[in-house]
A and B are shown apart, each in its own frame.
Chain A
Amino acid sequence: MTVRAVFERVLRAVERWEVLDAPSYPVEHGVSLTFLLTGRYARPLQDVLHGVWLGHPLHPALVTVPIGSWTTALVLDVLDATGRGGAGARPAARTAVRVGVAGAVASAATGLTDWQHAHDQARRVGLVHAGLNSGALALYTWSLADRARGRAARARVTAATGYAITLGSAWLGGALTYRHGMGTDHAARSYEPRRFTDVAAAADLRDGDPLPVDVDGMPVVLVASGDTVHAVGGRCPHQAGPLGEGWLHRGELVCPWHGSRFDLATGEPTQGPSTAPLPCFDARIRDGRVEVRRRADWRTPTAVTAIQEASR
């Protein structure tokens, strides 16, 4: 069997492992309660961990710290074990393991925060990913304790075992992103429509009530407030939630699935879990009809500029 086939088989099995759903909701309730206990800081804290401030998920960026440190530790351990590392190899390996442990704890916090909002198969894969990583973290912590006690040989074995588990688990983490699309942008991105296109009757707009419309099969949400009409993409970047079924809170559009909030003028997320902005459209009312056009934030060779549009 090829490497690919082995991993594929494991992934399929984990995805279908419905037994995991029983512990998964209590675990989420535990995570949720922990955040609720931070009171008004619950949201800002989760946004920091999701990576709303960063513009993409923090978790995949942070995991490079434990993986990198533990790789360094592995190399130093091998040098030390074969007597080629000199006097500095052993203390250096210990420092590398310690940095990795700290990085792993931070990675776990960001991972759990993202995992709370995973559905079905992705939720199961995430739980196994978290379980394996916790096992690896426990082994490295043990290894660290052994290093302090001078039990170098056993410390190297536990670290190497932890490393193998980490690599296997990282494959599952990759599957969460590249297969299940966790943390990737699910908003409909397109340059269309380049010209103002009729989407609705102005009379259908209700002040402060999002109106879902369709532009060439692409969902768009219209929100009227006073004299202005805002138009943004109708699919949440986080997990493609239907923003047309959302609502306004303090002038921001709320996703009905996981509560991401978006600024209507800029499309920027003001609250996670979404870390990516919504696509924006220019909107105008002509002869009682609402027309929208994709807002071009840079000029592409075929884009219709505002001047061209005005002279049509």
Chain B
Amino acid sequence: MKADEVLTAHHDVLRGLLRDLAETTADELERREQLRDRLLRELEIHTQIEDELFYPAVVDVSPLLSLAHAEHRQIDDQLATVMRTAPDDPEFVVEVRMLEKTLRHHTMEEEQRMFPQSHALGAERLEELGRQLEDRQRELTRSGGMRLMIRLKRAVLRLV
């Protein structure tokens, strides 16, 4: 798969998780917790593979990197708010919907603007980059360090 296809597939996972989370009701607290934790993990992995591999690769063909970073920041801040909100809080869904809209804008920006710009790299380079992204994504999913980092982040965000 090409780099943009790998990332779009992962965007679908993220959008799906957020949709599922927004559709849960206040009496599915356990499911809310599970989906939220999975979302935290996937978002962390997604940000990392984009920051580490994709953005540096497209730095010469896309002028949108600063915006992408700004949007990651906004997603990160809103994710912190979602982590801080108790799953039985009536505001929980409101904050999840805000995160959903923030993420939807960012993925739209990438899929409709940045990814077409990245095609200037050529099919071969995009295939190679796609392989690297998939490998790194798999690696991070299994990585104990990543799991520890996420657990730490979750604990800190809930604490404050």
Residues of the A chain whose Cβ atoms lie less than 8 Å from the Cβ of B73: 28, 32, 116, 258
A170 to chain B, nearest CB (A): 25
Nearest to A32 among chain B residues (CB) is B73
Query: Max chain A CB contacts within 10 Å: which of B73, B78, B98?
Result: B73
Residues of the B chain whose Cβ atoms lie less than 8 Å from the Cβ of A254: 98, 101-102
Residue from the list A37, A42, A258 in contact with B70, Cβ < 8 A: A258
A132 to chain B, nearest CB (A): 23
- Is the C-beta of A219 less than 8 angstroms from some C-beta in chain B? no
Residue from the list A36, A256, A259 in contact with B157, Cβ < 8 A: A36
Find out whether the CB atom of A250 lies under 8 angstroms from the CB atom of B69. Answer: no
Residues of the A chain whose Cβ atoms lie less than 8 Å from the Cβ of B66: 119-120, 123
Find out whether the CB atom of A40 lies under 8 angstroms from the CB atom of B101. Answer: no
Bound Cα distance A151, B160 (Å): 45
Residues of the A chain whose Cβ atoms lie less than 8 Å from the Cβ of B69: 25, 28
Chain B interface, number of residues (Cβ within 8 angstroms): 23
A36 touching B67 in the complex, CB below 8 Å, given contacts A247-B101, A249-B98, A259-B74: no
Residue from the list A32, A119, A123 in contact with B76, Cβ < 8 A: A32
- Is the C-beta of B94 less than 8 angstroms from some C-beta in chain A? yes
Bound Cα distance A278, B69 (Å): 25
A38 touching B70 in the complex, CB below 8 Å, given contacts A32-B77, A245-B105, A249-B101: no
Count of A-B residue pairs with CB < 8 Å: 56
Residues of the B chain whose Cβ atoms lie less than 8 Å from the Cβ of A256: 71, 74, 102, 105, 109
Residues of the A chain whose Cβ atoms lie less than 8 Å from the Cβ of B156: 37
- Is the C-beta of A117 less than 8 angstroms from some C-beta in chain B? yes
> What sequence of 0s and 1s flags, for each residue 74-103 of chain B, a beta carbon within 8 Å of any chain A beta carbon?
101110100010000000001001100110
Residue from the list B51, B67, B84 in contact with A119, Cβ < 8 A: B67
- Is the C-beta of A257 less than 8 angstroms from some C-beta in chain B? yes
Residues of the B chain whose Cβ atoms lie less than 8 Å from the Cβ of A37: 156, 160
- Is the C-beta of A39 less than 8 angstroms from some C-beta in chain B? yes
Residue from the list B70, B102, B157 in contact with A117, Cβ < 8 A: B70
Bound Cα distance A42, B78 (Å): 11
Residues of the B chain whose Cβ atoms lie less than 8 Å from the Cβ of A25: 51, 69
> What sequence of 0s and 1s flags, for each residue 145-162 of chain A, a beta carbon within 8 Å of any chain B beta carbon?
000000000000000000
Residues of the B chain whose Cβ atoms lie less than 8 Å from the Cβ of A123: 66
Residues of the A chain whose Cβ atoms lie less than 8 Å from the Cβ of B160: 36-40
Nearest to A257 among chain B residues (CB) is B70
Bound Cα distance A247, B94 (Å): 13
Residue from the list A42, A257, A259 in contact with B67, Cβ < 8 A: A257
Residues of the A chain whose Cβ atoms lie less than 8 Å from the Cβ of B78: 259
A42 touching B101 in the complex, CB below 8 Å, given contacts A123-B66, A256-B71, A257-B67: no
Find out whether the CB atom of B71 lies under 8 angstroms from the CB atom of A257. Answer: yes
Residues of the A chain whose Cβ atoms lie less than 8 Å from the Cβ of B97: 249
B113 to chain A, nearest CB (A): 11
Nearest to B106 among chain A residues (CB) is A256
Known contacts A36-B160, A37-B160; 6 additional CB pairs below 8 A are A28-B73, A36-B157, A39-B84, A40-B84, A116-B73, A257-B71
